[in-house]
Amino acid sequence: MRMRTWARAAVCVASAALLVAATAVPAGATGRDRTPPTTPGNLRVTAVTPTSISLAWDASTDSGGLNAYIVYQSSAIGTYGIYQSPSSTTATDNIGVRGYTKTYWIVAEDRAGNVSAQSNRVTATTTPDTSPPTAPTVTVTGVTESTVGLSWTASTDDATTPTYRIFVNGAPAQFITPMAAPGTRTTSVRHLTPGTAYTFTVRAADAAGNLSPPSNAVAATTLPSADTSPPSTPGAARVTGDMGCGLFLHWDASSDNVEPASSIEYEVFVNGGVQQIFVGVTSGFVYHSNVNGLNTFAVRAVDRAGNSSPLSNTVTSPFQEC
């Protein structure tokens, strides 16, 4: 019995030794990877265009392999990072805006989530727009007692669709917003004095504020008129339909001592500025999507001699942007 007990004890010891040998950590083995990648080097700007900035950097290394590069960018609107492929050492930021400045830096991230130190920082600005649009060519298309119609060829610009500024006798008179379609542009310069000579020029402007050279100068003399009496004030301006971002506005017709009702113009004012002009009608659909909150509307009548009535009563409506 005693011999069997010692034999059994020897077997247990031998089994324990085998278990220890099987579970022991081999020499040179490690735990979780806690070593970050090397820092991306030599971050540099490789190209700048009017709307983009391109970058390049020297690759990082990591024993367990890279997961990604994170390209950080900081500008006037804030700071954020964008993940890049670990196999790439270049990136292009398509900003889409001229003359815009950003600062960049990069870190490398390995597959265990370790992040390298930050690279050097570089700052770059997209190419500013310093080229003005081409000058338009202007012609006179019509004359009344208080208006002159103008037409001009569309200007071209290397960056944006131009706006236009109308000058009357050298002084700025009207601002025309961009029109996407190519071809001719037209406008009517209003509220001129009857029987008076005027000179008109047009200049194009791009989004950076560059002004084209002045167009050719054209001259026109408004038709004479003895009418100095304005139309009556439009009455009972009222909202008859409201759709949140648009409405129907109605008013009672004005009368004039010379003009028939069909010739009276109505200027619809939205928040103090003329937004639409209707001729010979007493209702119009007014659409306005730029100002949220409470908006004000009023109407003024104008005859062909340029005489303007007082503003109608004011009505209000809460608009929402569509």
Residues 168-175 have a mean pLDDT of 86
Give 74's pLDDT tier (boundaries 50, 70, 90): very high
pLDDT at 29 over 70: no
- When the pLDDT of each residue in the chain is averaged and rounded to a whole number, the result is 84
Looking at residue 282, the DSSP 8-state letter turns out to be S
According to CATH, the superfamily of the domain at 41-125 is: Immunoglobulins (2.60.40.10)
Give 138's pLDDT tier (boundaries 50, 70, 90): very high
Report the CATH number of the 235-319 domain.
Answer: 2.60.40.10
Q: Please give the pLDDT value at position 275.
A: 79
CB 148 within 8 A of CB 189: yes
Residues 258-267 have a mean pLDDT of 88
pLDDT at 278 over 80: yes
Domain ranges across the chain: 41-125, 138-221, 235-319
What confidence tens digit (pLDDT) does each residue in 80-129 have?
Answer: 999 999 999 999 999 988 889 999 999 999 999 999 999 999 999 998 88
Q: Please give the pLDDT value at position 263.
A: 87
Q: Please give the pLDDT value at position 251.
A: 92
Residues 32-47 have a mean pLDDT of 93
Residues 310-322 have a mean pLDDT of 81
Q: Please give the pLDDT value at position 318.
A: 76
Q: How far apart are CA 285 and CA 276, in angstroms?
A: 9
Shared fold status for 41-125 and 235-319: yes
Looking at residue 61, the DSSP 8-state letter turns out to be -
Q: Please give the pLDDT value at position 21.
A: 38
Q: Tell which wins on pLDDT, 58 or 319.
A: 58
Residues 306-313 have a mean pLDDT of 93
Q: Residue 301 has which token pair?
A: 């009548």
Q: Please give the pLDDT value at position 25.
A: 42
Q: How far apart are CA 256 and CA 278, in angstroms?
A: 16
Which of 306, 286, 290 shows the shortest CA–CA distance to 298?
A: 286
Residues 65-94 have a mean pLDDT of 93
pTM of the model as a whole: 0.64
Q: Tell which wins on pLDDT, 274 or 42.
A: 42
Asked: is 138-221 a CATH 3.30.70.141 domain? The reply is no
Q: Please give the pLDDT value at position 216.
A: 95
| CA 6 and chain centroid, separation | 90
What confidence tens digit (pLDDT) does each residue in 208-255 have?
Answer: 888 999 999 999 999 998 889 999 999 999 988 777 667 788 999 999
Sequence letter at residue 221: T
Q: Please give the pLDDT value at position 230.
A: 92
Q: Please give the pLDDT value at position 291.
A: 60
CB 36 within 8 A of CB 115: yes
CA distances from 162 to 51, 140, 173, 208, 300 (A): 18, 21, 17, 10, 31
Q: How far apart are CA 37 and CA 107, in angstroms?
A: 9
Looking at residue 207, the DSSP 8-state letter turns out to be T
pLDDT above 70 covers what percent of the chain? 84
